[in-house]
Structure 1
Amino acid sequence: MAKTATVRHDDGVMPGESQPTKESVNTGRVVQTMRSPVFAAVVFLATVVQVCADPLTALATGAGEWGHRWPPAVVITLAALGCLAQAVCVTQAARRPVLALLGALACYLAVALWLGVPTWAAPMHLVVAVALFGVGAARSIPVAAAWAGATVAGAAAALGLWAAGAGAPAGAVVGFVLTEGTALASVSFAGVALGMLWAVLERRTQRARRRALAFKAQQAEAVEASRNAERGRIAQELHDVAGQHLAGLVSLCDASVELAPEHPQQALHLIEEVRAEGRYAAASLYGALGDLRAVDSRAQTPTPDLRRLSVLIDFWRDRGMDVQVETTGDLQAPPVVVSTTAYRAISEGLSNIAKHAPGAPVEVRVEVDPVRLTAAVSNGAARRARADEDELGLGWGLDNLREKLALVDGSLNASPNDRGGWHLGVEIPFPRTTEAERE
Structure 2
Amino acid sequence: MDWHLPFTPAVKRLITVCGLLAFALTWLADIVLLARSPDPFHTATNWLPILVTGPVATLAALETRFSPPLLRRIWVVVVMSLALSCVSIAAPQHGSSWGALESAGLVVLVLRTTAQTPRTATAAASAAALSFAVLTLPVRRGSWSAIVGGGYVLTVALAVAITLGCAMRAQEARRRRAITDVRQAERLALARDLHDLIAHHMTGIIVQAHAATAVYPTAPDKVEPILRNIAQAGTETLESMRRLVRVLREDNHTALRPGDLLSELSELTASHSAPAAAGASPCAARLEATAAARTAHLSPEVEISVYRVVQEALTNIRRHAPGAQAGVRLDADDTWLWVRVTNTAAPKRTPSPAGGHGGFGLIGLRERIEALDGTFRSGPLPDGGWEVEAALPLPTSAPGQGAFHPPGTHRPSDRG
So what's the TM-score if we normalise by structure 1? 0.37
So what's the TM-score if we normalise by structure 2? 0.39
